[in-house]
Amino acid sequence: MIDPILEFAFEIRVDVDPHLRIGRSADEELTFTPISGGTVAGPLLSGEVLPYGGDWAVDRARTAQLEARYLLRASDGSVIDILNRGYFRASAEVIARLEAGENVPEDEYYFRTAPVFQTDAAAHRWLAEHQFVGLARDEDGQVCVRVFVVR
């Protein structure tokens, strides 16, 4: 059995607008957070986050199941679709600190994703042919995801 090797590929820094509460029941809450831009930078990809798409979250007992879908434009102009699913979990105290705008160290909460990419651009086809893991954090009003390719 082989051990997975994670290689840092790039970091996505996503600008978000205030979330919209959609609602569900007494036990869970559904929200939508619009994505309004951002950047992509790293050794394997650079570019921008386009101002389209958003993140749907279902929160149950301080654990949110996330599903974000948005577009990236690589520095060569290629457009890349990203579907990023994951989980966010934190104590009530950490959530309060994050909501107050504090940059809470990422080891104080759980924020992990599994991004999937689609593109027909030959230079970026590798994105649609590999598995990725994202380590995410809230920082300076952005959602930041360090993306690693599983080798």
Q: Which two tokens stand for residue 26?
A: 């007494």
pLDDT tens digits, 55-92: 999 999 889 999 999 999 999 999 999 999 999 999 99
Please check whether residue 23 lies inside any domain of the structure: yes
One DSSP character per residue, the chain reads -PPP-EEEEEEEEEEEPPPEE----SS-EEEEEEEEEEEEESSS--EEEEEEEEEEEEEETTEEEEEEEEEEEETTS-EEEEEEEEEEE--HHHHHHHHTT----GGGSEEEEEEEEE---GGGGGGGGS-EEEEEEEETTEEEEEEEEE-
57 occurs within a structural domain = yes
pTM of this prediction?
0.94
The verdict on residue 77 lying in a domain is yes
Q: What is the CATH number of the domain that holds 146?
A: 2.40.160.20
Q: Which amino acid belongs to residue 42?
A: G
Q: What is the pLDDT of residues 23-60, one digit of tens each?
A: 877 789 999 999 999 999 999 999 999 999 999 999 99
Q: What domain range is 27 assigned to?
A: 6-150
90, part of any domain = yes
How many domains is the chain partitioned into structurally? 1
On whether residue 109 sits in a domain, the answer given is yes
Residue 1 counted as domain residue? no
pLDDT in tens, 137-150: 999 999 999 999 99
